[in-house]
């Protein structure tokens, strides 16, 4: 148990540092944990007195911390032997502090999203003005600030695609797929861009990768059929269209694709 008591002492002595850093939840949690350890231990009289003094000192520090008081205005109360009562008060404090943590976290997320939208709009203005190098600088900086955000890269890729910058679109979609390899819609997007670029082999490769993940997406098969239409691979086009219709018998466009392929095959 001596090891646990040492841990309890360390938690109590570290609370002032947590308060200085504004880590109020960590401070409250440390006090909570130290009291639980104390209550579960068989303490000698001098040890119990030592812990009582440390807890009393910690409660005083919490009660007199001005910034903490703004978040949690209620005072903690402690007397030696009333540790369980103090735990109840700490529980209420932790609930309020957790709400504050969640609220601040949401504010941070909102601020990040607002910044993301602002930079996307700025990059779009450069694209609209045919200032492509400036747009790339904005978008590259933005993706650097949000690493691992596959949807952001997909959004930027769509903007490049609409601006006619297909190679830039492919680069961002390729990165997005590496970060989110299970996202079928990303394969559909890059396949469509590569088809427009007439890079049929690469487009087919991405569609096949997607089909290795999912065999029940009719639009995946339909877009693969569209690729084979441009590629004039009528047999493969018919097979892809058949799969799309098999998944969704009411898929009118896939039926038209299939009929066209069969007509070409029979010609």
DSSP annotation of 165: -
Cα separation, 136 vs 151, in Å, equals: 17
Cα separation, 197 vs 201, in Å, equals: 11
**Tens digit of each residue's pLDDT (9 = 90 or more) over 22-47:** 899 899 999 999 999 888 888 888 88
**pLDDT over threshold 80, residue 223:** yes
**Percent residues over pLDDT 90 in the chain:** 77
Cα separation, 165 vs 127, in Å, equals: 10
- Mean model confidence pLDDT for the chain: 92
DSSP annotation of 251: -
The pTM of the full predicted model, rounded to 2 decimals, is: 0.65
**Tens digit of each residue's pLDDT (9 = 90 or more) over 63-84:** 999 999 888 999 999 999 899 9
Contact 100, 73 (CB under 8 A): no
């Amino acid at each position: 148990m001596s090891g646990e008591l040492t841990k309890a002492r360390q938690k109590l002595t570290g609370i002032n540092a947590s308060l200085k850093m504004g880590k109020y939840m960590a401070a409250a949690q440390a006090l909570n944990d130290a009291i639980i350890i104390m209550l579960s231990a068989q303490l000698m009289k001098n040890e119990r007195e030592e812990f009582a003094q440390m807890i009393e000192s910690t409660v005083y520090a919490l009660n007199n911390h001005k910034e903490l008081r703004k978040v949690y205005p209620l005072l903690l109360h402690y007397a030696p032997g009333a540790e369980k009562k103090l735990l109840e008060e700490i529980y209420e404090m932790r609930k309020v502090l957790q709400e504050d943590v969640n609220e601040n976290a949401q504010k941070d997320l909102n601020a990040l999203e607002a910044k993301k939208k602002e930079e996307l709009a700025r990059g779009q203005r450069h694209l609209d003005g045919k200032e492509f190098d400036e747009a790339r600088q904005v978008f590259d900086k933005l993706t650097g600030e949000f690493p691992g955000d596959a949807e952001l890269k997909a959004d930027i890729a769509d903007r490049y695609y609409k601006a006619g910058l297909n190679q830039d679109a492919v680069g961002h979609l390729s990165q997005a797929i590496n970060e989110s390899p299970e996202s079928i819609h990303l394969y559909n997007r890059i396949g469509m861009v590569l088809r427009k670029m007439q890079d049929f082999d690469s487009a087919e490769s991405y569609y096949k990768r997607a089909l290795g993940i999912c065999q029940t997406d009719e639009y995946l098969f339909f877009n693969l059929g569209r690729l084979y239409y441009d590629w004039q691979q009528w047999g493969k086009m018919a097979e892809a269209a058949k799969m799309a219709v098999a998944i969704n018998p009411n898929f009118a466009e896939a039926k038209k694709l299939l009929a066209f392929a069969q007509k070409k095959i029979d010609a």
